[in-house]
Chain A
Amino acid sequence: MAGELVLLDFWPSPFGMRSRIALAEKGIPYEYREEDLRNKSDLLLQMNPVHKKIPVLIHNGKPVCESVIQVQYIDEVWHDKAPLIPSDPYQRAVARFWVDFIDKKIYELGSKIWKTKGEEQANAKKEFIECLKLLEGELGDKTYFGGESLGYVDVALVPFYSWFYAYEKCGDFSIEAECPKMIAWVKRCMQKESVAKSLPDQEKVYEFILQLKKVFGIE
């Protein structure tokens, strides 16, 4: 069933990290291929002609694009180990809602924090914290969003932790001070090998952001 699996990815991408975590949770071997986004490979352009973006999961030569779709696909195909998506349809719909919320808010607000200054940045920080607090509310007293084990929402959200240090430095604020429950949850996730191995070092991501700021001419 494993067949040939290739993940076209880019090391700081939180979206790529989602698929890395899902594959690691299930112990599925795959080939990781690093893409240079300034010089995209023919394979990437052929496998994702519509968006031309990473990550792309290639299973027996057939592409699956979009990280949330990849995680669902991985969970369905390798359903016998470490299930990520709830089996109850209502719980599944609720999990999808929160993953969709994360997709709509976290990346864009985070980007505004490192790309902008002044009032725009202040508004982005405020809304970012509000979103994290809503997620804290959803987590409640559970160990993970998925309950006792890592689930779909955990996999979708935890990659952004690797960008938190960069957001904090650029925005001059502390996420832990504002959302301690969120950071406590992150630390629990990071104790899992599948997560720790899939996330890059936060300092490395910060250096990458500083490079990007230089390239885009952002102060």
Chain B
Amino acid sequence: MSKAKLVILDCWVSPFCMRVKIALNEKGLEYEAQAEDLFGGKSELLLSSNPIYKKVPVFLHDGKPLCESSIIVNYIDETWSSPPLLPPCSYGRAQARFWADFIDKKVFDACGNIWRSKGEVPVEAKKEFIEILKQLEEALGDKDYFIGTTFGFVDIILIPLTSWFFAVEKIGGFTVEAECPKFSNWMKRCLQRESVAKVVPPPEKVYEFVLMFRKMQGID
């Protein structure tokens, strides 16, 4: 077991792991990312720290495990207060949690309905994906970031998922920039942040991974 105080059981392509790493970077914290081989065999540490779901990310703080990325990001924000990722007022926090919950319920599944489809991508799947992005665009409005002028909780929950959008665009035959330009601009803004750029892999790499995964699953 590592001597590092902060450890993340990780997978480079997991947007959920990326959330945790971005939050740690935002707080200027040192951590060790232990790569898990999700296809070859999960480590004993992963299986014992997350016996219910057996999934990454798992965050270990002095050996004490926490699971579920949104919960981990919340914990990081509450334990290391500067800079704050959530707004100071209760209503603002409720709004941030609402959008994080919406993103968790909708975005990755909508991506999956496109990149997992065999043959022609169903029109409803593309429509639903764009509709979700438009709802998020509306929530963003004219702000630079979701809950105001500073990069925060909702941005951290969402931006890693966009690393899968290139794959979705290629397979779906559309572009996010053409359909949702405001959303596209927000993506570019976030990707310029060092905390994000250090963590989010190049979209082409994710696309290669998706193609390999499709072959493995017999979709291609």
Contact = CB atoms under 8 A, between A and B. Distances in A.
Interface residues of A, number: 22
A203 to B, nearest CB: 33
A97 B71 CA distance: 7
Contact of B91 (A64, A89, A94, A101): A64
A99 to B, nearest CB: 9
B135 A77 contact: no
Interface in B80-138: 90-91, 93-94, 97-98, 101-102, 135
Given A64-B91, A73-B91, A77-B90, A92 B68 contact: no
B216 interface: no
Contact of A73 (B67, B68, B75, B94): B94
A50 interface: yes
A100 B71 contact: yes
B101 A90 contact: no
A90 B90 contact: no
Contact of A69 (B64, B72, B94): B94
A90 to B, nearest CB: 6
Contacts of B61: 90
A158 to B, nearest CB: 21
Given A50-B135, A97-B66, A97-B68, A72 B97 contact: yes
A92 B78 contact: yes
B149 interface: no
Interface of A: 50, 59, 62, 64-66, 69-70, 72-73, 76-77, 89-90, 92-94, 96-97, 100-101, 134
